[in-house]
Structure 1
């Protein structure tokens, strides 16, 4: 329950914004969101000393759809920041895009602090890979990396596989000098020039190669200094990938622990699929073979330095066993008809139906899993022994340090292999969701195959790893509902299992009926006949889009093929004003678009799915949005195919349970490109008659803003 202190603080700081910014207009929806966030966080359960961890059922979690114009970030930063301070928590704000992260750190948080008087400290959280490792940098610049990293001719160096050029060495020396002089803080994003990925990889921080407390450069390590900062600030700004990485490692590793954190997850509609990607695993057969072939040499060096012969011998045995299994896999895969390359443009895929292991390969899967698991266990033992040896002052510290860095890369690769086979060997109990399992053959390298395994839903991982542990959480975005409800999101995120979760759909501040129109022309063909539908679009576009008015038009396609065909068949009168996604960089395309409007010329953007979300074209930059086709995406990847079969086996219909609800979200997002401010106006045109002729179309139509219907 909110205390009087918290209520007063929220009210006073919100009022201060109005007083310090005369043009600021308090919005009812924004106030409602502030109250909802504060109330949710106030219900956070606290673990009392000596008691067990409280059971959380979603009482401190809110799912809030806040349309464009509500002012979501100000609402959750104000309420979340105050609640985090009064309840002794960190506020972790996570976004899906770099653009929103930069907006939060560079604009929204400074604005809140300045205008509201709320004293909030904040920092941007980044993954290890964005930070310099001073130890690696100094080692490389001092030795010039002209000899093998370990000094042993028989052990290949992975970390410095390519000898740096003189230009690269100059860059590294300059970097070392600037870092030593405290003019460079070790954050890759703050270096004034672009650093090639291959060069940065040689000096970046990584989990397995890190010497941690034993590192002589630990006091100046950019990653650990940044990590310590995250434990002292009020607000941590992260992204979904970093948040999910932290959760997958148990939480509290990269970011503050979930039990000590309130989460504000913006752009939350991206979270389920990002989580699915994070909890999946894959590995290349060729890279795995190379790893197990080269591993014994470095294992022997580790054993010699640490006197750990037993885990070294066991690791060698496991590596040999894994190599034997992988060779057997190559034999089977080379003769698998589904992986035949003849006559195929795309990489062929062998999907294991329902995630079930083919009976004739069950023993091989088991053997591969056992070998990978044993190898990882003994590699971990050797890694621990190296860490212990580094703490022993009598040992050769510099040699152990260099060996630790290289061995760490092998540990990471073995982890990747073991993760795949842990999933491959898993067979869920009857009635449980299957795992998607498949093998892909790379057309670029006829002798390489990729093993893949993934859950078909991230709901369980999110429910157990995040929601049931977090002190509180807000999930928000401009579009969270599908077909008018939150059911799809709650299922995909696992919040369906936390019955006390609050859901709220805020009202838009825009007058849609007065600002916009919706038109559905009587096309002669539907997308069910693709060629005829393309003909109809080509016929209608010149009628809909003026080649004389200085206004912007956004035409959205679901198919690149159709987009290009329509572009080729446009009348010559329209071609000078056409900008096509993919032909030039997005930033250049948008610049040309704005320049055309400013110069009094029309501008027509042809775009695909990515332009249907996150594209902000206010005013005359977008007066018409034309949607060529309802944004259905059919299950065409192994995860979606496995999920569809699972739904069918339960008596459901994938099209109605997944395809239509997801299309509803995409359609609302696409339509949302039109009205971005209270001053915007325009028309949405949908060139797909199914929205009127099919029952699902009417449900999709009912979820759109209440524009004035014309035609």
Structure 2
């Protein structure tokens, strides 16, 4: 497919003044949008944001924009993007970080935009949702599963697979949510599209392929919606000389733009572990990829298994050495070797194992099989990809344990013992070696030169500018826009800051302070309170200490512990007004609890990253090597953005009221505290006893 650099030449026939006036007609108090969407309320900030986005698109300039809750940023950028696409014939790609936002755009917002464009006098406006291959059923893989499962009278999947086989011809898109019954993930993994098991044009179902049909639809769209990970997958494939996932596009709008750097690092992550190797061997033994059925017979599978055994033994030896290395480090710090740990690799590790020779023997054997048995293109492609995956195991092991890639990468080890583990258990399978790139600009620079990019989020700026995010993402020149809030914080929100909080490093004293303070808050709020923590450990200890008191008050205490279902906790909190929810990391953003659902947000601690975590250490080290200051240039601004996200949970509509309580006095006593304060919403400062007036039902 074509890359994003091939820009269509058509420009708008209308002067810019007319296009901006058209946006005014759309967003006016009795304008086109209000005709289509009766609940619409005009906001000056929304119209100005939409104009700025339209200007940046036509000028082909990068843009950073911050627009908090209530601004209506989705309609702002969608209206600008639709006008631009229809006027120029160019394609706009909208990228989001989360599935709920994608669903909102596709199911609620874009149908409204389509009707608005029609009333503006435009012809057809096409928009499509682009998903990864694994979200679509592969008809060929489904046929194989049907043949296998229905041949066994007592197969546990029999009824579900039979239902799928009966419904498949009615399916228009072949996506999981289209089926009117539940499909378990273990079944979907057998029938979903798989890049390594794709027959492309050689598939007997190519003409009816859901994935190919989806891509044809994408190529006809004026506006594409995707997620950040799919955008990076597309960039990666095109950078490697392949056709890519997405069709040509001319500009990108990253909503939830503050998550782009994190998505970048996760997508390009490299990792290796024994379970990964065992999973790969399981694919071979079960011949789970279609091309393997004609190439790997029982004898070949046995011989591959025998060749895999020395590789597994070498890797197990290497991971055992890594486990011993971690255990020694833990014992020196007074920790049990059974404690989960993340340890940064700051210099090459003394791992004395040779994985190259076993891998070479496997590759030589597979090359022989390729020459003897792979006559079809799909078989040649399949075995080439398999050899690549096997070689990647050795490359990743060396890359991570030897700290390769330079300062632009973070390398670390993770140890996660099972809950019933004992000190005498073999520990090699508990270890995972990981590396992530931390310098997005190294990869993204070429992309920025070809495509104008808009980054938009409710939290992008610190201290009124975008310097922090621009440096992290590698954009030297850009337009900027910060939308004012439509909310009256001075009237509707109270800000309380604990002035005498103990130092959080004195943990026992600090937990006692939190328990007493949260108890006082709950005595006034009687629930509807979200308490945000920066670590699961502090959350659990505080929750356990508070539990007898909440029980006495008749308030349900919901704790977000590792492994807990986030959605279930939120629904329980919504269902019971007399509940308090203790949330960690993911609860600082992405939850919407308007009106009476939430009346008080408590920040237990300034949300600084743990400076001992590998990613944090690596990022600060890189900044300092480039002449910056790790705390000033990364730790502080990232904490400010997270604070803005957490505080932003409270006021979600113009009618909302409530209180924000910050239980960390460093915001007042430390010099950097002023930076936090200037980034908080302009709520009225007051005392704890005033909370009652802001959480009552008045």
TM-score, with structure 1 as normaliser: 0.79
What is the match of residue 185 of structure 2?
197
Is residue 493 from structure 1 mapped to residue 473 from structure 2 by the alignment?
A: yes
Q: Which region of structure 1 is more displaced relative to structure 2, 588-597 or 690-699?
A: 588-597
Is residue 570 from structure 1 mapped to residue 549 from structure 2 by the alignment?
A: yes
* Distance (Å, rounded) in 2 between the aligned partners of 1:524 and 1:282: 41
Q: 2:345 aligns with which of 343, 347, 352?
A: 352
* Distance (Å, rounded) in 2 between the aligned partners of 1:487 and 1:370: 49
Q: CA distance change for structure 1 residues 696 and 381 in 2, over 3 Å: closer, same or farther?
A: farther
- Cα deviation, residue 335, structure 1: 5.3
Any residues of structure 2 matched to 1:187-586 within 5 Å, and which? 187-250=175-238, 253-257=244-248, 260-285=249-274, 287-288=276-277, 326=315, 329=318, 332-333=321-322, 336=325, 338=327, 343-347=336-340, 351-353=344-346, 356-358=347-349, 368=355, 389-390=376-377, 407=383, 410=386, 413-414=389-390, 416-417=392-393, 420-421=396-397, 423-424=399-400, 433-441=407-415, 443-444=417-418, 446-448=427-429, 450=431, 452-464=433-445, 466-470=447-451, 472-495=452-475, 499-546=476-523, 552-558=528-534, 559-570=538-549, 572-581=551-560, 585-586=565-566
Q: Would the aligned equivalents of 1:80 and 1:262 in 2 still touch at CA under 8 Å?
A: no
* Distance (Å, rounded) in 1 between the aligned partners of 2:453 and 2:373: 40
Q: CA distance change for structure 1 residues 337 and 214 in 2, over 3 Å: closer, same or farther?
A: closer
Q: Which region of structure 1 is more displaced relative to structure 2, 522-531 or 672-681?
A: 522-531
Q: CA distance change for structure 1 residues 376 and 272 in 2, over 3 Å: closer, same or farther?
A: farther
Q: Would the aligned equivalents of 1:459 and 1:494 in 2 still touch at CA under 8 Å?
A: yes
Q: 1:11 aligns with which of 6, 21, 26?
A: 21
Query: Residue by residue, what CA displacement relative to the aligned partner does 1:63-121 show, whole Å, maximum 9, x if unpaired?
Result: 10111111111111111122123333222111111111110011010122224536421
Any residues of structure 2 matched to 1:91-110 within 5 Å, and which? 91-110=92-111
- Cα deviation, residue 658, structure 1: 2.3
What is the match of residue 84 of structure 2?
83
Q: CA distance change for structure 1 residues 679 and 101 in 2, over 3 Å: closer, same or farther?
A: same
* Distance (Å, rounded) in 2 between the aligned partners of 1:335 and 1:577: 43
- Cα deviation, residue 302, structure 1: 8.7
Any residues of structure 2 matched to 1:585-596 within 5 Å, and which? 585-596=565-576
Aligned partner of residue 700 in structure 1, secondary structure = helix
What is the match of residue 138 of structure 1?
143
CA RMSD, aligned part only? 4.0
- Cα deviation, residue 691, structure 1: 0.8
Is residue 176 from structure 1 mapped to residue 165 from structure 2 by the alignment?
A: yes
TM-score, with structure 2 as normaliser: 0.80
What is the match of residue 690 of structure 1?
666
What is the match of residue 63 of structure 1?
64
Q: Would the aligned equivalents of 1:208 and 1:411 in 2 still touch at CA under 8 Å?
A: no
Aligned partner of residue 202 in structure 1, secondary structure = helix
Q: Would the aligned equivalents of 1:2 and 1:42 in 2 still touch at CA under 8 Å?
A: no
* Distance (Å, rounded) in 2 between the aligned partners of 1:685 and 1:305: 65
Q: CA distance change for structure 1 residues 286 and 555 in 2, over 3 Å: closer, same or farther?
A: closer
Q: CA distance change for structure 1 residues 436 and 169 in 2, over 3 Å: closer, same or farther?
A: same
Aligned partner of residue 452 in structure 1, secondary structure = strand
* Distance (Å, rounded) in 2 between the aligned partners of 1:592 and 1:289: 39
* Distance (Å, rounded) in 2 between the aligned partners of 1:350 and 1:633: 15
What is the match of residue 631 of structure 2?
655
- Cα deviation, residue 700, structure 1: 0.7
What is the match of residue 607 of structure 2?
631
Q: CA distance change for structure 1 residues 418 and 122 in 2, over 3 Å: closer, same or farther?
A: farther
Q: 2:583 aligns with which of 607, 622, 627?
A: 607
- Cα deviation, residue 637, structure 1: 3.1
In the alignment, structure 1 segments of 5+ residues that lack a partner are 45-59, 147-162, 307-314, 392-399
- Cα deviation, residue 125, structure 1: 1.4
Any residues of structure 2 matched to 1:25-64 within 5 Å, and which? 25-44=41-60, 60-64=61-65
- Cα deviation, residue 463, structure 1: 1.8
Aligned partner of residue 348 in structure 2, secondary structure = coil
* Distance (Å, rounded) in 2 between the aligned partners of 1:32 and 1:384: 64
Aligned partner of residue 481 in structure 2, secondary structure = strand
Query: Residue by residue, what CA displacement relative to the aligned partner does 1:585-609 show, whole Å, maximum 9, x if unpaired?
Result: 5555444544544xxxx54333223
* Distance (Å, rounded) in 2 between the aligned partners of 1:304 and 1:685: 62
- Cα deviation, residue 661, structure 1: 1.4
- Cα deviation, residue 642, structure 1: 3.0
Aligned partner of residue 673 in structure 2, secondary structure = helix
Q: Would the aligned equivalents of 2:274 and 2:316 in 1 still touch at CA under 8 Å?
A: no
Aligned partner of residue 235 in structure 2, secondary structure = helix
- Cα deviation, residue 510, structure 1: 1.7
Q: Would the aligned equivalents of 1:285 and 1:448 in 2 still touch at CA under 8 Å?
A: yes
Q: CA distance change for structure 1 residues 9 and 503 in 2, over 3 Å: closer, same or farther?
A: closer
- Cα deviation, residue 16, structure 1: 1.9
Q: CA distance change for structure 1 residues 629 and 233 in 2, over 3 Å: closer, same or farther?
A: same
* Distance (Å, rounded) in 2 between the aligned partners of 1:492 and 1:377: 43
* Distance (Å, rounded) in 2 between the aligned partners of 1:26 and 1:89: 28
Aligned partner of residue 65 in structure 2, secondary structure = strand
Aligned partner of residue 448 in structure 1, secondary structure = helix
- Cα deviation, residue 242, structure 1: 1.7
Q: CA distance change for structure 1 residues 285 and 607 in 2, over 3 Å: closer, same or farther?
A: closer
